Structures are given as structure tokens and as C-alpha cells.
A and B are shown apart, each in its own frame.
Chain A
Amino acid sequence: MRKRFASRAALALLGALPMLAFAADAPAPVPNKGDTAWMLTSTALVLLMSVPALALFYGGLVRSKNMLSVLMQVFVVFSLITVLWCIYGYSYAFTEGNAFFGGHSRIFLAGVGDAFKGEWSLAATFSKATPMYEIVFVAFQATFAAITCCLILGSVVERIKFSAVLIFMVLWFTFSYLPVAHMVWFWPGPDAYTDAAKVSALNATGGFIWQMGALDFAGGTVVHINAGVAGLIGAYLIGKRLGWGREVIRPHSLTMTMIGASLLWFGWFGFNAGSALEANASASLAFLNTYLATACAVLAWTFAEWIIKGKPSMLGAASGAVAGLVAITPAAGNVGIPGAFVIGLAAGVVCLWGVTGLKRLLKADDSLDVFGVHAVGGITGALLTGIFNSPDLGGPGSVQDWVTATSGYPGIAAQLWIQAKAVGITVVWTGVVALAAYKIADLVVGLRVTDEQEREGLDINSHGESAYDY
């Protein structure tokens, strides 16, 4: 969805005189200050979604003897992926290479700018002549890569070795997150499309899934399906927690889970509305859709649980919120208000099934329901995005001709089929990579702590400390 367009021809932004030299032609566009402020804010909001939001959401769901291990895994994985992103991740995800992997041109963020000269490379948004600073795009996308990796942790908590977490994350990030992000989101940018004759050559430089015309506003495939499937594979390979199905393994603090879910909701405005890459109408639509669909999902989960199980639970309401947020992610700026209602309501009910009926069928100890919420919610959202993108259902359609920036819609069946293919490719890709990455981590250090350490808790055994003094 985005890419730099002025890599080598970095713009001189200091001093008005060099700019005047261009004035005879069309003046070179510079990033809008409001857009820049919004994107910096959004980036910080997505960071908040991981630390502390996701860490608290997950931490509250485990037993108190494993609280710190969850906080620590999220904290360190988030940092690890951020560092890898700036070393090579960004380059392989968001520079031109082939349809699956990017190139080497931005290794160690080479060429994003010259701080001394004040010359900064620009990245594309979704509007012509509306660039953003590439370093802002680098930071924004770094938080996406990092939180996606953190999501996977929920499947394997309370028994995985910390060293195995780190080894797995390096491998999975490199061979699943980066290529899937490249496949879905890399494209030449709107300003490259100046002439109808160039279109097919330009399109061919885009990511594999982008070329199919798949719609993924903020990461239904790249983030949620990608992580959800990797989580499920992990749950199968590492095995069930000791005592699963026999002993009471219940959340130690749903209070923290509620705080985490609420902060996720808050931060998700940066995730979804920020994915518009500008402070514009598309961001505003994504913002309201994110707000509304989540509220719908909370109500749907709560009432469904009340009817089916007899009591509306706090954990259910918090889970409904996350399910709604996940499902509206690919749709955020790609559907209208009717889409937000339907996607939110559907996500609440479908993900409730994902963590109950479907979970029983899968027979895996996906401990914190990463698959049941993120993969199932992500697939629900990705498919419904294809339907509710339709202008007939209040959706905005999508740009079909970037030379003239003209929107259209290929029809519900056609778009739904494209979405389904995007989902399928992501599921298979991440499934295979996750399998290999867990196997390698298992060979190198072993995936699980000993039974004795697991009984006593990971906080003391893996990290040498306790969460609570009692």
C-alpha cells in the first residue's frame, strides 16, 4: 500500500532558495505538518497497544505465577522486532524487490535521510502529491511488525522457554511477517502512475497479493491472520499446559485484562486511522468504524454469551472488544458505516464460537485464544471487507485506475474471491514458516521448560522474580 517515491532525489527542505529553483515547474510537494503530527501520534498509539496494553490483556489471563513472564515476553519481543526492523525488516518489507520480498536498499535504514543537510527521503501515501517523511513511515510500520509478533505469544504462554521465544520470533518475523507485509502492502505509490502506458509495468513491481487487488486497510492478513495461525501451530507443537482440562487454570486478574483491552481499543485508533497515512477523510472514516464496530462486537459477544452460557462475563466483553477491533482492521477505511455495524456484530458472535466450539474441535491449548480471536476475527473481517467495500453497501470502493485516481468496485463475488485468495495465501505461508521456525527453536534450545519449572511458574524460574508479594 505504500512506498517511497523519491528515494535518491531527496528533497531539500531547509532553506527556501533551492525550492524556488523548482518553481517554474510544479513545486515538489512537501509533507503536510498536520499529516506528520497525526502519523507520529498514531505511531506512539500503536506502541501503547503492545506495551502495556497487550501485555496487560494477556498477563491478566494467566496464573499469577506466570504474570511477569508474559509481561517480559511482550516487552522484549516488541524491542527485538523494532531493532530488527531498523536493521533489515523495513528494507525487505517496503522496498522494491520481487513480488514476495523487498530489496536491500534500506538495510540499516540507509538513504532515508541526511540529518546534517536536513534532506529527508519521502514515502508515498494514498493521495497524489501528498508525500510523508519516510522515517515516519519506518517508525509507524515498525510498531505493526512488533505487535504482530507479540500477538503470537498468547498461544504458548505459561510453558515456553524465553530463549525459544526469541529464536522463534527472529525466524518468523524474517520469513513470514516481512514477506506477507511486502506481498500485501508494497506498491509503487500513486505518484508513479503518470501514464496509462506505464501501469502494467508499475503494477508488476507491487507485492503479490497487492497485485491481485486484495483490500487490507490496516493488517487483517498481515497482522491478525498471520499471527493467529502461527499461534495455533505453536500451540500444537509445544503441547498443552500441565493439568490442562483437569486442573483449574483460570485468569489471575480480569481487572488487568479489562485495562489492557481498553488501552488496545484506544491505541487501535492509531493502528487503523493511522493506516490512512494522512489526517484526512479516510482516516476519519477508519476512526469511526474502529469505534463503532468494536462497540457492536462487545454487545454481540455479551448478549450471545448471556443467552448461550447464562451469564454475561467481563472477560467476554473484553474479548468481544478485541474481536471487533481485529475484524474491523482490514475494513477500517475500506467500508462505510453499514459495514462497521455488520462486521462488529459478526465478529462478536463468530469469535465467541472461535474460542468455544471451534476450540473444542481443534483440541489445542491455544492458551489465550490467539487463533480463535485473531485468525478467526481476521478472516471474518477480511472476507466481509470484500463485501462491504461495495458502493452499493455504503463502501468507498477502491481505486481501480491510479493514473486518474478513479475508484470502482469489481463486484461482490469478484472482490470476495480476491479476499479469500489473500486469506488462503497468508494462512499457508505463515503456517509453513511457523512450523519450521518452532522446529528450529526446538532443536536449538527446546521449546518447553521442565515440568517442575512449569509447576512452580515461569516468573521465578525464567526471570528470577515474582509479580506479587503474598
Chain B
Amino acid sequence: MKLITAIIRPFKLDDVRDALSQAGVTGITVTEVKGYGRQKGHTELYRGAEYVVDFVPKIKLETAVPDARVDVIIDAIVEAARTDKVGDGKIFVTPLDHTVRIRTGEIGDDAL
């Protein structure tokens, strides 16, 4: 099992969700986050005070998937989230030791 964490542009969330559904993903977790990478922030001006806002709003999307599905799902996210401009985001894949479905007590791939 792998945990796929994708940081994407907020307005791309709907496209990514549709692509994941078509790729057979049955559940995702979404969080609104802020961060910075190569994409620059912006400046805000309040009367005399000018602030450089480095942190750009992004969506963090997490989904746990069986090992065999990882490449297909990564391709689906990349395809749906890409605009070819700086700030499209990143995908991180981490190994997942264990999974439990709370309602039934199923474990491992059965719980995904």
C-alpha cells in the first residue's frame, strides 16, 4: 500500500477528483493548505503598509492505494492538475504500513 499526497492548485480540485474516480479511487481526503515552492507569492498593500505574502493557497489531497495502482493514479493526477505553469504542485508517494476500516475491522488492501 502507498499513501499518495498531492499538492495541487485549488481550482484544479474538481478535475482531479473526476480523474481519480475514473481511475477507480473510492476515497480521498482534501485539506486547504498554504505553502511556497518555486511559485512566487504576491504583495498586499494596506494604506501605507506593504506585505509580501509568500504563502500561496493550495489544496493537499491524500489517498491510500494498493501498490499495483500507484502509477495509474499518479498519471491521472498529473494529467488533470497540469497547467504547464510554475505552481502546478507536487506528488509525494510514501509507503503505508497498515490500514484499518473502522466500521468492519477489515485490514490491509481490503480496507482501501
Question: Interface of A with B (CB < 8 Å)?
Answer: 248-251, 309, 311, 313, 315-316, 319, 355-356, 359-360, 369, 372
Contacts and interface: CB of A to CB of B under 8 A. Distances in A.
Contacts of A313: 45-46
B47 A250 contact: no
Contact of A355 (B44, B48, B51, B53): B48
B86 interface: no
A369 B44 contact: no
A95 B99 CA distance: 82
Nearest to B55: A248
B53 A315 contact: no
A309 B53 contact: no
Contact of A319 (B47, B51, B53): B47
Contacts of B47: 315-316, 319, 355-356, 359, 369, 372
A248 B45 contact: no
B48 A248 contact: no
A391 B53 CA distance: 52
B48 A356 contact: yes
Interface string B39-59: 000001111110101000000
Nearest to A305: B45
21 contacts: A250-B46, A250-B49, A250-B51, A251-B46, A309-B45, A311-B45, A313-B45, A313-B46, A315-B46, A315-B47, A316-B47, A319-B47, A355-B47, A355-B48, A356-B48, A359-B47, A359-B48, A360-B48, A369-B48, A372-B47, A372-B48
Interface of B: 44-49, 51, 53
Contacts of B53: 248
A360 B49 CA distance: 10
Contacts of A369: 47-48
A357 to B, nearest CB: 8
A309 B47 CA distance: 10
The 7 A-B pairs at the shortest CB distance, nearest first, are namely A356-B48, A355-B47, A248-B51, A359-B48, A355-B48, A250-B46, A309-B45
Contacts of B46: 250-251, 313, 315
A259 B45 CA distance: 20
A249 B45 CA distance: 11
B35 to A, nearest CB: 15
Interface SS of chain B? strand
Given A248-B53, A250-B46, A360-B48, 6 more contacts: A248-B51, A309-B45, A313-B45, A316-B47, A319-B47, A355-B47
Nearest to B47: A355
Nearest to B53: A248
A311 B45 CA distance: 9
Contacts of B44: 250
Question: Which of B44, B47, B48, B49 counts the most A-chain CB atoms under 10 A from its CB?
Answer: B47
Contacts of A355: 47-48
Nearest to A313: B45
Nearest to B44: A250
A244 to B, nearest CB: 9
A367 to B, nearest CB: 10
Nearest to B54: A248
B44 to A, nearest CB: 6
A413 to B, nearest CB: 34
Nearest to A319: B47
B10 to A, nearest CB: 19
A42 B47 CA distance: 31
A196 B103 CA distance: 98
A359 B48 CA distance: 7
Contacts of A249: 49
A372 B49 CA distance: 13
A302 to B, nearest CB: 13
Contacts of B49: 249-250
A309 B45 CA distance: 8
A336 B34 CA distance: 53
A310 to B, nearest CB: 8
A319 B47 CA distance: 9
Contacts of A360: 48
A355 B48 CA distance: 6
A236 B45 CA distance: 23
A250 B53 CA distance: 11
A313 B46 CA distance: 8
A369 B47 CA distance: 9
A374 to B, nearest CB: 14
Contacts of A319: 47
A311 B46 CA distance: 11
A248 B51 CA distance: 6
A38 B47 CA distance: 37
B96 to A, nearest CB: 31
Contacts of B48: 355-356, 359-360, 369, 372
Contacts of B45: 309, 311, 313
Q: Which of A248, A359, A360 has the most CB of B within 10 A?
A: A248
A154 B107 CA distance: 59
